[in-house]
Amino acid sequence: MLADFLRLSLKALSERRARAVLTIVGIAIGPLILVMMSSVVGSYSEYIVERITSLGQNAIAIFPTENYRLDAEDLNYIRTFDAVKRAEPFYNTQGIVKRGTEETKVSIFAVDYNLLFEAIGSLEIGEGAIPPETDTLSSIIGRKIAFKDDTRHFSLHDVLTVTVPKIEGGKITGKKTVNVVVSAILEEYGGALIVDPDSTIFMSLEAGRRLLGLDKWSGVLVLADNPANVKPTVSALRQYYEEKVQIIAFSSIAEAISSVTSAITFINFSTSLSAFAVAVAGVAATMITSVMERTREIGVMKAIGYTNFQILLMILLESIMMSLVGATAGISTGVVGAYILSSRGFRIGGIGESGITLQLNPLITPTLIIQTLALTILIGLAGGVLPAYRASKIPPVVALRYE
Amino acid sequence: MPETKQKKPIIQLVDVYKEYRAGTISTLALKRVNFQIHREQVIAIMGPSGSGKTTLLNMIGLLDRPTKGKIFFDGLDVLRLDDKTLANLRNTKLGFVFQTFNLVNRLSVFENVELPLIPRGIPRGVRAKMVLDAIIKVGGDESWLSKKPNQLSGGQQQRVAIARAIVGKPVVLLADEPTGNLDRASAKVVVKTFLNLNKAGHTVVVVTHDPEVANCMDKIYVIRDGEIIDEYSSNKAESLINKV
């Protein structure tokens, strides 16, 4: 019987094709926006959170403020925490590497290699090997320093000439050049958004001190024994140091970014709901008109034995079918739109020399499709239920008299 | 008509009143109507426009409820039945034919005629046979089935409407001015169809204001101002069928 009702409803829709098509277009806008925006925002959100998370969920970075100097006493204090697995100082500065005729800005990070690779678990050596900590002339360089657009500029054992600030008495007094040997080249990391290993030269802590002339630690990198212990450790350190240092836990950044992306997703969802609300009104208007035009027909149906429920079902099926077609059209164009939108890429500035441009495939999941489909069908139901109910309740004699 | 068939009326109206209200104005469409229809009767209800013919037919056809009085259908007190049961009775025991045919123009003849069978859940294969049988009974043929109603003449459309009314093998066939929109030749064919259906065992009730159509039936009830004021046997000599 349901198949017959579907057939009858489809015929009713096809009779008023232009109106049905316009209503379907109205319905399709909601799922289009929802799928397109959610999948694009979702893919970037997931990527960004994943990259932040990859920095290590048990890593904490402590940076001194301008008027405070971290020293061995601080290091010893930090190491007294039961939850602290390791704590090592690091030096961080900027430099310029000459690649042929071109100069490239790079970050220089002098840190204990083992701690570095433990903190950033997804950091991998592509070529060469990690040099010994005592080797102050060797370095590990990021992929974008060694290569540019797949063109190799530096190989293993090449000497890099890096221009760095000259520091005397704790102050920058000019520029100087240092030479470092390439001992290893990292696999492409892709940008962690806070740091950019692809554009960084990593060297040992001792190299940082000797080669770069840095005497003031840029900070202390702390590794907690467990991600669950990060928050209490950060709290304890903040309580101890108050305003003297800035403490950043990568897990907190991930959490914050996750909150921001959730908010964006919610705003996007709310925007889509406006389109859905318009669609409800569209469906309702179409169905009310349709019911009015077919009042006499409804009277005949009742006279020949259709129950109120069967009339309600037939009218509702019409709006549900419009929603289904609208959902299919909206989701399909949403998917296409998402790929077009993603293909433009998304530039994040402030990282590396010229920021990084993310170009990701939209995150189109079965859950997103099913949720959008369900929501769109709900729109059809919401828009159709009142006209269908009214149609089902028209007394047959009144309907038959209708002109 | 055999005596046994007269004993148990299929439809009985007892002191039926129907009042319509529009704001403070009320109109009494039916006044104390007492009326019986027996199985296999073929009767006409005659009266001028606004006399209450259609209201009476709506009562007989279980489409409307009286303001006062009782209606019995095959012994059942109609006022005690819910909408679903009434719909089921209309679907299985009654067939309706309207003055304006009331066919659904977007549907083919086949789809129009099969409409009453859908709520019964009859499989499509069985429906196809029942539809063809009904079309043949009203003098149509297989070639009609795929046509749209507007591709047929008025008389043919009314016969399709009759086929829709009889496809479910109802006990009572109710027709409201079935010849009102037809020329005399088509009207004659339609009336003959009703008479043939009566011979096949259907009870037929025709509402008309046309005396020539009414005289084709066995008995004529005259209604005026909501009251049945007269009933008499028809004068076949004055019927549409016998007049040239």
pLDDT in tens, A207-237: 888 887 787 899 999 999 888 888 899 999 9
The predicted pLDDT at position B228 comes to: 92
By residue count, chain A amounts to 403
Q: CA A135 to CA A202: how far, in whole Å?
A: 12
Nearest to A164 by CA among A212, A215, A236: A212
pLDDT at A191 over 90: no
B98 has a chain A CB within 8 A of its CB: yes
Q: Which amino acid is at A362?
A: P
DSSP per residue over A340-371, as a string? HHHHT-EEE-SSTTT-EEE-------HHHHHH
A396 has a chain B CB within 8 A of its CB: yes
**What domain range includes position B45?**
39-63+83-238
Q: Region B125-147: what's the mean pLDDT?
A: 93
Helix, strand, coil % in chain A, rounded to nearest 5: 55, 20, 25
Whether A68 and A214 share a structural domain:
yes
A161 has a chain B CB within 8 A of its CB: no
DSSP β-bridge partners for residue B110: none
DSSP β-bridge partners for residue A166: A174
ipTM of the complex: 0.90
Q: Which of B64, B96, B111 sits opposite A304 (nearest CB)?
A: B96
pLDDT in tens, A299-308: 999 999 999 9
A12 has a chain B CB within 8 A of its CB: yes
Query: B241 CB contacts (<8 Å, ≥6 apart)?
Result: B188, B191, B192, B195, B216
DSSP per residue over A129-150, as a string? -PPPTT-SSEEEE-HHHHEETT
A398 has a chain B CB within 8 A of its CB: no
Q: Is residue A38 part of a domain?
A: yes
Q: Is residue A155 part of a domain?
A: yes
Q: Region B197-224: what's the mean pLDDT?
A: 91
B63 has a chain A CB within 8 A of its CB: yes
B66 has a chain A CB within 8 A of its CB: no
Contact B120, B189 (CB under 8 A): no
Apex B226 CA angle, B220 and B232, nearest 5 = 15
The token pair that represents B144 in the structure block: 């009609």
Whether A106 and A13 share a structural domain:
no
Q: Counting one residue from A and one from B, how many pairs have CB atoms under 8 Å apart?
A: 68
Q: Is residue B178 part of a domain?
A: yes
Q: Is residue A104 part of a domain?
A: yes
pLDDT in tens, A370-386: 999 999 999 999 999 99
- Which of chain A's residues have a Cβ under 8 Å away from the Cβ of B59? none
pLDDT at A352 over 80: no
Whether A169 and A183 share a structural domain:
yes
**What domain range includes position A360?**
2-53+255-401
Q: Is residue B225 part of a domain?
A: yes
How far are the Cα atoms of A12, B18, B72 from residue A8, in angstroms, in the given order? 6, 35, 34
Contact B243, B210 (CB under 8 A): no
Q: Which of B64, B106, B119 sits opposite A305 (nearest CB)?
A: B119
pLDDT in tens, B71-93: 999 989 999 999 999 999 999 99
From A208, A225, A242, the end of a domain falls on A225
Q: Which of B87, B98, B104 sits opposite A305 (nearest CB)?
A: B87
Q: Is residue A24 part of a domain?
A: yes
Q: Is residue B179 part of a domain?
A: yes
Whether A149 and A22 share a structural domain:
no
Q: Is residue A23 part of a domain?
A: yes
Contact B103, B160 (CB under 8 A): yes
The predicted pLDDT at position A194 comes to: 63
- Whether residue A305 and residue B90 make contact (CB cut-off 8 A), yes or no, is yes
Q: Is residue B213 part of a domain?
A: yes
The predicted pLDDT at position A170 comes to: 66
A298 has a chain B CB within 8 A of its CB: no
Whether A68 and A213 share a structural domain:
yes
**CA of B133, closest CA in chain A: separation in Å?**
18
Based on the structure, what is the number of domains in chain A? Answer: 2
pLDDT in tens, A14-24: 888 899 999 99
pLDDT at B181 over 90: no
> Backbone phi, then psi, for A17, in 5-degree steps?
-60, -50
- Domain of B109: which CATH number? 3.40.50.300
Which is more confident, B7 or A114? A114
Whether A183 and A168 share a structural domain:
yes
Q: Is residue A250 part of a domain?
A: no
Q: Region A91-116: what's the mean pLDDT?
A: 88
Burial degree of A308 (CB within 10 A; 0-12, 13-18, 19+): middle
Q: Which amino acid is at B115?
A: L
Whether A41 and A137 share a structural domain:
no
Whether A202 and A310 share a structural domain:
no
Q: CA A348 to CA B102: how far, in whole Å?
A: 67
Q: Is residue B102 part of a domain?
A: yes
Q: Is residue B15 part of a domain?
A: no
Q: Is residue B76 part of a domain?
A: no
Nearest to B104 by CA among A296, A401, A83, A44: A296
Nearest to B44 by CA among B176, B165, B155, B240: B176
Based on the structure, what is the number of domains in chain B? Answer: 1
Helix (H, G, I), strand (E, B) or coil at A174: strand
Whether A305 and A382 share a structural domain:
yes
Q: Which amino acid is at A346?
A: F
Whether A179 and A41 share a structural domain:
no
Q: Region B197-205: what's the mean pLDDT?
A: 91
Q: Which of B90, B106, B121 sits opposite A304 (nearest CB)?
A: B90
CA A215 remoteness from chain centre: 38
The predicted pLDDT at position B2 comes to: 46
Query: B63 CB contacts (<8 Å, ≥6 apart)?
Result: A302, A303, A396, A397, A400, B90
Whether A301 and A387 share a structural domain:
yes
Give residue B7's pLDDT band: very low, low, confident or very high (50, 70, 90): low
Whether A49 and A67 share a structural domain:
no
- Which of chain B's residues have a Cβ under 8 Å away from the Cβ of A398? none
Q: Is residue B2 part of a domain?
A: no
Give residue B99's pLDDT band: very low, low, confident or very high (50, 70, 90): confident
pLDDT at A325 over 90: yes
Q: Is residue A246 part of a domain?
A: no
DSSP per residue over B116-183, as a string? GGGGGT--HHHHHHHHHHHHHHTT--GGGTTS-GGGS-HHHHHHHHHHHHHTT--SEEEEESTTTTS-
The predicted pLDDT at position A51 comes to: 74
Q: CA B30 to CA B185: how far, in whole Å?
A: 33
Q: Is residue A235 part of a domain?
A: no
- Which of chain A's residues have a Cβ under 8 Å away from the Cβ of B130? none
Total Cβ atoms within 10 A of residue A194: 15
Alpha-carbon dihedral sign for residues A298, A301, A302, A303: positive
Q: What is the mean pLDDT of chain B?
A: 90
The predicted pLDDT at position B243 comes to: 66
| Residue A147: half-sphere exposure toward Cβ, Cα within 13 Å | 11
